[in-house]
Structure formats: C-alpha cells, structure tokens
C-alpha cells in the first residue's frame, strides 16, 4: 500500500509541475517547475526499480538540460511575460485537441488487458550491473554511435551559437 501512496504522490507532483510549467507566466518559473517534474519522474524510476535510469535521468535532465534551459533564459534575458498571448479560441482549440488526444489514448489503453508478466519490485534488470552488461554487449555499436551523435550535436550547437552569420 505504501508504494501506492508513493506512486500517487509522485504522479500528482509530476502532473502538477507539468501543469505549472504551462501555467507560469515567466519562463524561469516554467524551468523550475520542469525540474520538479523531472525529479518526480526520477522517483518513478526508482519505484520501478530502475536505479540506473533514475540516476541518468537526474544527471541528464535535472542536471544538464535544466542548466541549459536556465542559462538560455538568463543569458537571453527572456524572463518576461509573453508579449501577446494567443487568442482565446486558439487556446480553446488546443485544449480540446489535447483533451481529445488524452481521451483517445486512455480509451485505447483501457481496451487492452495487459498482464504484468513480472513483478517490477523484484526485477533486477534496472540495476547498473545488468544494464551495463547488456549495453556493452548487445548495444555496443549504438552506444558508441551515440557518442558521435553527441559530438555532432556539440559541433552543431557551437556553430549555431557563433556570433557571425554562417
């Protein structure tokens, strides 16, 4: 039962933060709420016994990405209100569309009867040791390629960020 409470708590926290990301007027607040949401999701990972992912998640998202966002906001001095919010009807349509998507998704998932084949609590696959084995054994080449991707992204970001016109 305890885990259920944790699950609900984390879920509500994540959803609330997510809503607040959108609801905040200032981007800086959005970024902070986003960080909160990320932490909540990291908690979920822990709950799923996926410690490795939880750690990576915190490092990548709450660490790297958030910092990037914060730096951008601050460096560009974007911390002000949106100049002209979208008209009401656009928001309305957006809400309807998003709501429909949600209903559709939920509708789909409700229809499926998914049996849990394994108890996640006793699952050991999320441990660093196991994942590491798989990652360096089965997924070695994608793993290495992802480093190339990072390199590319880095070069790209630097190029884009340069003052001069390309």
Is residue 50 within the footprint of other proteins (CB under 8 A)? yes
Q: How far apart are CA 15 and CA 44, in angstroms?
A: 13
Handedness of CA 141, 143, 147, 153 (dihedral sign): positive
Query: Smallest distance, Å, CB 94 to other proteins?
Result: 3
Is residue 41 within the footprint of other proteins (CB under 8 A)? yes
Q: How far apart are CA 67 and CA 35, in angstroms?
A: 10
According to CB under 8 A, which one of 9, 19, 74, 140 is a site residue for other proteins?
A: 19
Identify the burial level of 145 via C-beta atoms within 10 angstroms of its C-beta, where 0-12 means exposed, 13-18 middle and 19 or more buried. Answer: exposed
Query: Smallest distance, Å, CB 100 to other proteins?
Result: 5
Binding mask 130-159 for other proteins (x = CB under 8 A): xx--xx--xx--x---x--xx-xxx-xxx-
Please give the structure tokens belonging to residue 157: 């970001």
Asked whether the beta carbons of 62 and 39 are under 8 A apart, the reply is: yes
Is residue 18 within the footprint of other proteins (CB under 8 A)? yes
Window 54-93: residues binding other proteins (CB under 8 A)? 56-57, 60-61, 64-65, 68-69, 72-73, 75-76, 78, 82-86, 90-91, 93
């Amino acid at each position: 039962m305890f885990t259920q409470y944790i699950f609900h708590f984390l879920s509500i926290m994540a959803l609330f933060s997510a809503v607040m990301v959108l609801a905040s007027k200032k981007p800086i607040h959005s970024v902070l709420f986003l960080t909160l949401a990320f932490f909540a999701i990291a908690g979920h990972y822990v709950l799923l016994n996926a410690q490795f992912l939880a750690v990576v998640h915190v490092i990548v998202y709450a660490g790297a990405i958030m910092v990037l966002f914060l730096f951008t906001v601050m460096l560009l001095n974007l911390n002000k209100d949106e100049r002209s919010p979208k008209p009401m009807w656009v928001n309305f349509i957006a809400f309807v569309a998003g709501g429909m998507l949600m209903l559709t998704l939920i509708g789909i998932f409700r229809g499926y009867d998914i049996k849990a084949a394994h108890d996640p609590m006793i699952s050991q696959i999320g441990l660093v040791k196991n994942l590491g084995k798989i990652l360096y054994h089965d997924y070695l080449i994608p793993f290495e390629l992802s480093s190339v991707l990072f390199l590319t992204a880095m070069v790209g970001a630097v190029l884009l960020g340069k003052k001069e016109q390309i």
